[in-house]
Structure 1
């Protein structure tokens, strides 16, 4: 059973938040606000925050830039995970991923089903790894961001979470680049 092991020290990580929207400004980014509030309350550091329109090339460029930044461990995007023609965040993420975390989508769908029923099938939330950085694409609603954080990410981004978590393997994500 999963649990927090209080004998382990908490390790704060550095998280960047990117909102993808053609209509919102940073001042109106309630989903980004939700993520920032939750990650800082959990003890992590907000490493960067930005908003971009639904443009695949711009999103890819931002993700790659943040993945190259040694001061960013995790990137959370919100918005652009739906099915409309302008929703290109998932495609942008997959352009950047070295490895996809397929189970993230499955677990997010499971969590969403409990909240919104079969409407959960309309989300394409995804997770992956690139250049030693975790990336997660979340829907643009504050509720979906809250659910993803409260039900999945708060645990997987906590070094104390047992039996395993993303933080403990963070230093090994790019080990293939160090091999001789």
Structure 2
């Protein structure tokens, strides 16, 4: 279990993208769930969008946010299953500089308690590109809550020790940069 070290909370600028052929922003319960959760944790919803399950439209939107100096995290919901139209992993993988190797495995592990062996049907993934954490989770509000509560909330909280993602993300022009971390929990 992660614990909060005696550090200062730094809100992150987070964009939320829903991948769906059928939803609109008005009917997007998964994107709304992520938006509500991140804001209730003290982070900033800097942008929100919805694109169809199309590799090139997904890449275009995510690339735009990766290049945006204000965006630090992109949370994506939808398109991580095995149907012919589930293209999120194929769209995102080439954009990542580094993969968060354990994210998908951890997400499936914590999902087993809620949905059993159906957790194998998720191709959830995460990685970092241009100082932006990009996270892809399934397109249900339950999956979004599980990902946020069990993994993302503590890992996006700059107070969580011994490690969290905040120091690895691009600093904002109006914020003081966080100290570099040489190793997990050891500040230089």
Residues 1:158 and 2:157 aligned together: yes
Structure 2 CA distance for partners of 1:171 and 1:18, relative to 1, 3 Å: closer
TM-score, structure 2 as length reference:
0.89
Give 1:168 shift.
2.1
The RMSD of aligned alpha carbons is: 1.3
- Ranges in structure 1 where 5+ consecutive residues have no aligned partner: 176-180
Residues 85-121 of structure 1: per-residue CA shift (max 9 Å, x gap):
0000111110211111110011101111111110000
Residues 55-74 of structure 1: per-residue CA shift (max 9 Å, x gap):
00010011111000011000
How many equivalent pairs are there? 172
SS of 1:27's partner is coil
Q: Distance in 1 between matches of 2:2 and 2:43?
A: 21
- Ranges in structure 2 where 5+ consecutive residues have no aligned partner: 172-179, 181-188
Conserved? CA contact 2:72–2:170, under 8 Å: no
Deviates more, 1:94-103 or 1:158-167: 94-103
Paired residues for 1:11-160 under 5 Å: 11-160=10-159
Conserved? CA contact 1:17–1:35, under 8 Å: yes
Moved over 6 A (4+): none
TM-score, structure 1 as length reference:
0.93
Give 1:171 shift.
4.4
Conserved? CA contact 2:19–2:50, under 8 Å: yes
More helix per residue: 1 or 2? 1
